[in-house]
């Protein structure tokens, strides 16, 4: 595949696939600066809007999925049916966006949660949905059937987490750009981790020998970190405290931002929910700080009890995070709470206390000022659509490699 195309002749599409919808954006490259941004063209498709979609779908047991990914994936009939709507929605989003690409070389990047197949074009493990090993093949065939051609095959499915990192690094508004060491945590449909160490983006997949992804770790004996920090998890937690069913919460449009507002108005169930979120997020961020600085300390167990324990030694030891970035819907919550005692400032206080308790002078002098956690370190991402932006960037960078 030749890469001898002028940037202005290329149209980039970034796809952010999730558990409930697919969102696609056109991504623009500023030729002068070499930085990327979102164009004002967006198409979304919700799976539930397709006739036959099963909103009561129950995924295959996660441990079963993890075992089968290394042997043979035995797709259930209901997985095949449910997977169709996920793939069809993505193909329809791309199809609509392609209407903007007359005479352009169209490149598509797709971010999807879950573990990918060996060829990186399908999904072999998905905690909250159906497995789809033929994800990219289906989309290309669907587009071809409509007479629509991409400028290059879909190179691979990316991680929405890695794409958040790409967006933060290659966008003019990105918060990875001007620092050496940074960690990104996004909470939306699921949770996303990204990091930049010693000036380079570092994939969690490449670093799994010494650090774990957030969704892999158990926060308590029965609940994962994802439960406490994803949008659906926060809603479930509020349902537990308030005794209001998820069905009623959804019907009345009570989502994490509304729960935070209730907490700010001193509703007990909402306050307990937000306090749980603060406690767990502070603990997670402290673990990230210390694992990067001094190695895995065996604090948490794993969703998969057979997961190999991370090594305590790694080549980035001694690195101190210059910035901790919270993004997506979780970032919106922290931004709203900044002028209150809840969430953002509670997390800062807890982080400060935990760092003081380490007694480590380097940690204390770097992260604290006057015994308080430095506000300039704990930042809110400005890139609300970071996964889609990163997907478009990856499509461009992948094409350049040919």
Catalogue the long-range contacts made by 70-77 (C-beta closer than 8 Å, 24 or more residues apart).
73/124, 73/131, 73/133, 75/130, 75/131, 75/133
**pTM more than 0.85:** yes
Q: What is the mean pLDDT of residues 45-67?
A: 93
> Are 175 and 325 within 8 A, CB to CB?
yes
Q: What average pLDDT is seen over the chain?
A: 92
The Cα–Cα gap between 346 and 278 comes to 7
Catalogue the long-range contacts made by 307-316 (C-beta closer than 8 Å, 24 or more residues apart).
307/212, 307/216, 310/208, 310/209, 310/210, 310/211, 310/212, 311/209, 311/210, 312/210, 313/210, 314/207, 314/209, 314/210, 314/211, 316/197, 316/198, 316/202, 316/292
Over the stretch 63-113, which tens digit does the pLDDT of each residue have?
899 999 988 999 999 999 999 999 999 999 999 999 877 778 999 999 998
> Are 206 and 154 within 8 A, CB to CB?
no
Top-confidence residue, 168 or 3: 168
The Cα–Cα gap between 54 and 64 comes to 21
CATH number for the domain whose boundaries are 7-161+387-400: 3.30.420.40
The pLDDT assigned to 7 comes to 66
In the chain, what are the domain boundaries? 7-161+387-400, 178-381
CATH number for the domain whose boundaries are 178-381: 3.30.420.40
Of 152-156, 186-190, 239-243, the poorest mean pLDDT is in 186-190
Q: pLDDT > 90: what percent of the chain?
A: 76
Copy the structure tokens of residue 47.
Answer: 């799976």
The pLDDT assigned to 2 comes to 45
The pLDDT assigned to 1 comes to 40
Are 7-161+387-400 and 178-381 in the same CATH fold?
Answer: yes
Top-confidence residue, 199 or 215: 199
The Cα–Cα gap between 117 and 138 comes to 14
Over the stretch 322-364, which tens digit does the pLDDT of each residue have?
999 999 999 999 999 999 999 999 999 999 999 999 999 999 9
273's CB contacts (< 8 A; 6+ apart) are: 234, 237, 238, 241, 259, 263
Q: pLDDT > 70: what percent of the chain?
A: 97
């Amino acid at each position: 595949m030749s890469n001898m195309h002028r940037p202005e002749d290329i149209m980039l599409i970034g796809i952010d696939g999730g558990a409930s919808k697919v969102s696609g954006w056109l991504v623009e490259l500023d030729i002068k600066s070499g930085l990327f941004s979102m164009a004002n063209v967006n198409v979304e498709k919700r799976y539930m809007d397709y006739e036959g979609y099963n909103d009561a779908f129950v995924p295959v047991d996660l441990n079963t999925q993890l075992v089968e990914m290394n042997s043979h994936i035995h797709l259930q009939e209901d997985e095949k049916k449910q997977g169709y709507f996920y793939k069809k929605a993505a193909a329809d989003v791309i199809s609509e966006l392609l209407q903007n690409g007359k005479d352009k070389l169209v490149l598509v990047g797709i971010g999807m949660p879950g573990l990918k197949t060996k060829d990186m074009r399908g999904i072999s493990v998905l905690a909250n949905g159906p497995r789809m090993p033929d994800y990219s093949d289906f989309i290309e065939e669907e587009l071809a059937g409509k007479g629509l051609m991409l400028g290059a095959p879909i190179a691979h499915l990316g991680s929405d987490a890695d794409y958040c990192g790409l967006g933060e690094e290659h966008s003019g508004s990105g918060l990875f750009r001007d620092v050496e060491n940074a960690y990104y945590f996004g909470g939306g449909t699921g949770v996303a981790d990204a990091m930049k160490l010693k000036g380079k983006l570092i994939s969690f997949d490449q670093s799994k020998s010494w650090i774990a992804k957030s969704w892999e770790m158990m926060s308590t004996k029965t609940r994962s970190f994802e439960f406490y920090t994803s949008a659906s998890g926060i809603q479930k937690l509020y349902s537990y405290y308030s005794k209001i069913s998820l069905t009623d919460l959804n019907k009345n449009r009570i989502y994490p931002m509304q729960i935070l507002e209730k907490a700010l108005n001193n509703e007990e169930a909402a306050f307990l929910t937000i306090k749980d979120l603060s406690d767990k997020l502070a603990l997670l961020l402290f673990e990230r700080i210390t694992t990067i600085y001094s190695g895995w300390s065996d604090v948490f167990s794993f969703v998969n009890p057979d997961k190999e324990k991370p090594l305590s030694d790694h080549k980035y030891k001694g690195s101190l995070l210059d910035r901790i970035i919270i993004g997506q819907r979780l970032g919106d919550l922290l931004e709203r709470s900044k002028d209150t005692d809840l969430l953002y400032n509670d997390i800062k206080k807890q982080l400060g206390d935990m760092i003081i308790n380490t007694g480590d002078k380097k940690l204390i002098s770097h992260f604290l000022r006057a015994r308080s956690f430095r506000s300039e370190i704990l930042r809110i991402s400005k890139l609300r659509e970071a996964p889609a932006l990163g997907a478009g960037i990856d499509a461009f960078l992948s094409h350049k490699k040919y």
